[in-house]
Amino acid sequence: MQLDGLNKEQKLGVTTTEGPLLILAGAGSGKTRVLTYRTAYLIEEMGVKPYNIMAITFTNKAAKEMRERIDKLVGNEDGGVWVSTFHSACVRILRRFAERIGYGNNFTIYDSDDSKTLIKHILKDLQIDSKRFKEKMFMGEISSAKNELIGSLEYRNRFSNDYKLNVVGQVYQEYEARLRQNNAFDFDDLIMKTVELFKTVPEVLNLYQDRLHYIMVDEYQDTNNAQFQLIRLLAGRRQNLCVVGDDDQSIYKFRGANIYNILNFEKHFPDAKVIKLEQNYRSTQVILDAANGVIKNNVGRKAKKLWTEKSGGDKITFRQFESAYEEADYIAMDITSKCRDGLYSYMDDAILYRTNAQSRILEEKLMHLNIPYKIIGGVNFYSRMEIKDILSYLHVIENVQDEIAIRRIINVPKRGIGAASLEKVSTFARANGYSFYESLLKAKDIPTLGKAADKIKKFTDLIEELREDTKTNKRIALLIRNVYEMSGYAEALRLENTEESKARLENLEELYAKGVSYDEGTEEPTLTGFLEEVALVAQIDDLEESKDYVVLMTLHSAKGLEFPNVYMAGMEDGLFPGFMSMMAGDDSEDMEEERRLCYVGITRAKERLVMTAAKKRMLRGEIQYSSASRFIKEIPNNLLDNNSPSMYELGFAGRKEDTFSPKKPARSIATSYGSSGSSYQNSYSSTSSSIYGARKPSMASGSYGSGVQKKLPAYIVGDKVKHRKFGEGVVSDILDKGRDYEVTVLFDTAGPKKMFASFAKLEKI
């Protein structure tokens, strides 16, 4: 074989064929090339039959790409290389041998909706309160247990003294029993049951060990314990196991990935050889030096340092703005400028952020400048289920004739109002000439409804209360919050307590932030006006016809991708890294995972990297004051452009309010972009500073309409107070900011925080 196109380390990875091998492949180092060439080398040079080789990847897309590249090198032969995902491989094995562990070979594979439905039935049969214990909570706990190969009996024994987990154990045990009764596997079972098959039926394991002489695993840093045990069993006899991965890109702990599978590879396989691929073929040396500067601060890693033959490169741009609005303005205008000057096309640009909720402001700014974009790994902010649900509530409050909106939300969250009941209401409406909502109001007059009439009345009472509230309260933000709190929508997500539900809660809070922005930037805010503005923003042209668009995505979604021009937005302590990671400590596993996520973001950039931060940002419905991310400070100062602040200027905590100019327009931004920037500034100025006046109107003191006085806090400087998130602290300052009081609290664990009194809900203790 011709290996001239490979560097020294890549050649070594290809030709080291016997025994366990760990290839530490840094970002952009050509690992897929090594795997495909290694497969071809085994076939062409070592005389290994394709049938005796297995390559495992994590996604169908990656498996398809690898299979195609192998076919180009060695041709497509019958009984070829087994290239598969973990789950596809296990399905293939179980289809042959499921009967050996008590299942039929024609088993059904349950998706998440099937599993949720089954658990729902189990909760009903076991008389477990589904309002207190949500289906998705059980799904998450059971999935985590299966990823650790913990069966239901072991789970119950482990957690017999924990009330909540003991309930989970009961459901898990019944769930397993009914899956077997239904001859079904869920997604996690596919690996768990294959491991069980191999351990309990040795002749089946021997069959596959006889066949598979060489096994290769891609993205090894993302494997969980069940996947590790599966691979360990398959490779147990010959030990010809080659794993490729990068511990510095292990960012899926929340999905069950165990970084110690790769960190402890030599302990698991004492004869293992280790090869490092450190030459990068993607990015400039400046970008790689920045990535190296950040990731070296992690303790739990294998030492490596990326380098490239592309010396130099543009310095990294870092900009810190007064607000998230100015940050989004800058990014949108910078993209416009670079495209106008012919430096980049839209398709060259990517905006990366830590949480999905950050996309809302960025989307709006891109739309204002007519910049085509697409959300990758997510959906448009206003198309997300939870946002559409709350907007439907608002539509009903504004117009009770909107039957489509009513039908969407009447049982969201669940109120026990089913399709049959709605059909009875619809029949009554048609027979008597009423609108659908009028018929709901007359539910007691529909004899066929029975107990459903009481449930419908609770819904209409809620809508009527919210409608009445709009007559006195003109603050759209407060209305939004009342909707998702009074309806029980937010509480249902809190009880669900999964990563998905937490993200959805963040999105609700971002919609609230949109309401605050609208209130502060509009002379006479109205619900009609707000819904019109949202409708116009949400109208997005179909971008599938052209690939020339900017992509927006979370940092997790960006793994494996690359772009010439990358923007990393929201580089602030408390957002990235997140508050909980900061609370865990600088040397915690959580903080190290956040740092790896930053490393992944930096190494997506090929030519240019822009990192931005905001001093003030609304998070979880509160104004947060933030300093620049500690990850920015870990980048060597000589790599940042000359216009960036010095490292001593990056800290924001403790600076006096009078050093800000909240109402000052983004003059430098507009000037940088000439006439187009100036014209855009006019449309921006009405909302650019709205976030500075943001606050949650107090329910006790009524609305903040004309002539209504704000309520004095119930505490004074020196009082000890308690915050629901930051814990206990002492009030150090209270400033009158016109529409609200700004309170500074020195918290025992979280340090100094500034917040508006009506937002903070501080409790005097």
Residues tagged active-site: 31-32, 218-219, 249, 604
442, with CB counted inside 10 A (0-12, 13-18, 19+), is middle
What DSSP state is assigned to residue 384? S
- What are the residues whose beta carbons fall under 8 Å from the beta carbon of 658, sequence distance 6 or more? none
408, with CB counted inside 10 A (0-12, 13-18, 19+), is middle
Rounded CA separation 222/215 (Å): 17
Rounded CA separation 496/530 (Å): 30
The residue behind tokens 């509230």 is 469
Rounded CA separation 173/153 (Å): 7
Other C-beta atoms lying within 10 Å of the C-beta of residue 524: 6
Find, among 321, 327, 381, 373, the residue nearest to 349 by Cα. Answer: 373
> In 32-79, where do the E strands start and end?
53-57
Rounded CA separation 95/633 (Å): 53
What is the three-class DSSP state of 438? Answer: helix
CA angle 519–504–347, rounded 5-degree value: 85
Find, among 327, 308, 311, the residue nearest to 319 by Cα. Answer: 327
664, with CB counted inside 10 A (0-12, 13-18, 19+), is exposed
Find, among 326, 364, 365, the residue nearest to 692 by Cα. Answer: 326
The residue behind tokens 């972009």 is 673
What is the number of helices (H) and of strands (E) in the chain?
A: 32, 20
The tokens describing 214, both together, are 């060489």
Other C-beta atoms lying within 10 Å of the C-beta of residue 319: 21
- What are the residues whose beta carbons fall under 8 Å from the beta carbon of 173, sequence distance 6 or more? 152, 153, 156
The tokens describing 722, both together, are 């308690």
User: What one-letter code names the amino acid at 91?
Assistant: V
Asked whether the beta carbons of 1 and 45 are under 8 A apart, the reply is yes
What DSSP state is assigned to residue 540? -
Cis peptide before 662 (omega within 30 of 0): no
Rounded CA separation 381/488 (Å): 21
H helix or E strand, kind and range, residue 608: strand 605-619
| Distance from chain centroid for Cα 699 | 32
Other C-beta atoms lying within 10 Å of the C-beta of residue 106: 8
Rounded CA separation 279/266 (Å): 23
Asked whether the beta carbons of 331 and 567 are under 8 A apart, the reply is yes
